[in-house]
A and B are shown apart, each in its own frame.
Chain A
Amino acid sequence: MAEDRFDAIIVGAGIAGCVAAYKLATEGLAVLVIERGNYAGAKNMTGGRIYAHSLEKVIPGFADEAPVERKITHEKISLMTSDSNFTVDFTADALGVAGQDSYSVLRGVFDQWLAEKAEKAGAEFIYGIRVDDLIVRDGRVGGVIAGEDELEAEITILADGVNSLLGQKLGLVTEPPAHQIAVGAKELIRLSPEMIEDRFQCNPGEGAAWLFAGDATHGRIGGGFLYTNEDTISLGVVATLSDLVKGDKPIYQMLEELMNHPAIRPLVKGGTLVEYSGHLVPEGGYGMLPRLYGDGVLVVGDAAMLCINLGYCVRGMDFAVSSGDFAAETVIEARKAEDNSAATLKMYEEKLANSYVLEDLKTFARFPHFMESTPRIFNEYPEMIKKMMLEMFVVDGTPAAPIRKRMMPAIKEVGLLTLARDGWKGVGAL
């Protein structure tokens, strides 16, 4: 090995890239991370929450030292119309138990901590440099090109995010179609920690995750989200691109209206907007995975489209951690064998396949299509629930019919068969 040749160069200091760097450096390998932002996380954004299990394996007890925002102990999901909101609200001690805990995070803050861990372990970081291209010789990736500079590595790890221009150049990643990609817009709203705890009925250090279907996206495929942070609230909207463009309301207008919804307005009242952000989400699931490796190269995190949205549960960061972890293990093995060919790096895909990552993506492989083909989730069902709830709760002096009779008209508007069919398909896809 030439002295100036790295064992691994990682493009992108997000979660997957930093975890890979941390693990490789810990094992004594020469690793360089190149990030185009001025610090790790400068270009990154999440809803969002991280399920702790996978990072816990890499850095045990991480939540005690990392700048996590709040431990999520309250789960809420809602069906929303323009003037109503039906919520399932669940809290249990089990949500906070080690190993199944999750935390709201802000990536501009969190990723810097993770990068620092990797740096302390011995990884090198360069910030403010955009990798323009890859060194490719005889079909084998041998490092990166940034402007006039070339940097060589035995293995290059593409952690360059959902718009993996480098993965596309190599032909590993194909340009995702608009029905497999959603766009998210988010406002970060500052409130005092006490206000957040009061409004969301949480203990200090604990918080809520909340997902909305229906009017949050004005009936388009997607949803709203709300996560409580230490002294801010992340409020946002995510909408599938192919469907969003068939509507008549811009994504940022959806977010504004969500914020002004009668169910949300009191929660953000008095808050100050401190940041507005946007990002893409790869939502196609198992069906949109790219080729995960090639000669001298591995693809991790969002670049590998490792993400899942089940409506009640959104995951990406725990997959990012594990993909970075498995990529590092693969590089360690490949360096021992002194072989960076695709045949050896295939190990990375096998590790993913033998873990919860591809298992879960496979289990829910049919769900993205179910959401896409069942627009009623975002229109008719929130309306139906609203009507049923009004039948239940409104008392106005007119003689009341038995509840079964009062509920049926709302259900019949959708159709009993349709409801049964959607329920069956939905359960089948989950």
Chain B
Amino acid sequence: MSTVNVDAKLSIDKFYVDEENAHIALKEHIDDAEFAKLVLACPAGLYKIDESGTKLFDYAGCLECGTCRILCGITILEKWEYPQGTLGVEYRFG
């Protein structure tokens, strides 16, 4: 089966991205094994490893579920907070 494009699914959702302020930030040095957990568990697929092995993360598209906070809150996350009021994902249906 082909690999799903989560970004295409997220593009259907309504987001008000806080361009100024990242509500999730990663530490400078990121453990590979910890990062790999988030590649599997983040429902929005925001934690990625590209072909060259570089770790990528983008908080835009975050569904604010808290998966990364529970799994890696103390290991590789520098900060996890909710976006400022009014910002972030907005479920029209939920």
Contacts and interface: CB of A to CB of B under 8 A. Distances in A.
Q: Is the pairing of A and B real?
A: yes
Nearest to A160: B82
Contact of B82 (A44, A106, A130): A130
A391 interface: no
Given A183-B43, A275-B13, A276-B12, A45 B70 contact: no
Interface string A70-109: 0000000000000000000000000000000000001111
Given A129-B85, A252-B43, A232 B93 contact: yes
A277 B67 CA distance: 13
Contacts of B84: 130
Interface residues of B, number: 39
Q: Is the interface of A mostly helix, strand, loop or mixed?
A: mixed
Interface centre among A44, A183, A188, A251 (most CB of B within 10 A): A183
A321 interface: no
B41 interface: yes
A251 B41 contact: yes
Interface string B60-94: 00011111011101000000011111101111111
B93 A108 contact: yes
Nearest to A163: B66
Contacts of B71: 178, 241, 245
A278 interface: yes
Interface in B17-68: 36-37, 39-45, 63-67
A38 B90 CA distance: 8
Nearest to A275: B93
Interface string A181-207: 101110110000000000000000000
B94 A252 contact: no
B12 A273 contact: yes
Interface centre among A162, A175, A187, A276 (most CB of B within 10 A): A276
A276 B8 CA distance: 10
A277 B92 contact: no
A130 B79 CA distance: 16
A239 B43 CA distance: 11
Contact of A245 (B12, B41, B82): B41
Given A245-B71, A253-B4, A274-B12, A108 B43 contact: no
Nearest to B67: A183
Contacts of A111: 94
Interface string A275-298: 111111000000000000000000
A278 B9 contact: no
Given A244-B40, A249-B40, A275-B12, A280 B3 contact: no
Contacts of A274: 12, 93
A188 B12 CA distance: 11
Contact of B66 (A38, A162, A275): A162
A144 to B, nearest CB: 12
Contacts of B81: 165
Contact of B92 (A181, A256, A275): A275
B44 A278 contact: yes
A45 B43 CA distance: 13
Contacts of B4: 252-253, 255-256
B94 A250 contact: no
Nearest to A181: B70
A43 interface: yes
A250 B45 contact: yes
B91 A278 contact: no
Interface in A94-142: 106-111, 127-130
Interface of B: 1, 3-4, 6, 9-10, 12-13, 36-37, 39-45, 63-67, 69-71, 73, 81-86, 88-94
26 contacts: A36-B85, A38-B86, A42-B90, A42-B94, A43-B90, A108-B91, A108-B93, A108-B94, A128-B85, A163-B66, A176-B70, A178-B71, A183-B43, A187-B9, A188-B93, A245-B37, A245-B71, A249-B40, A250-B39, A250-B41, A251-B41, A252-B44, A274-B93, A276-B12, A278-B63, A278-B67
Given A45-B94, A130-B82, A255-B4, 14 more contacts: A36-B82, A36-B83, A43-B90, A44-B94, A128-B86, A130-B83, A241-B67, A241-B70, A245-B41, A251-B41, A253-B3, A278-B67, A279-B65, A280-B65
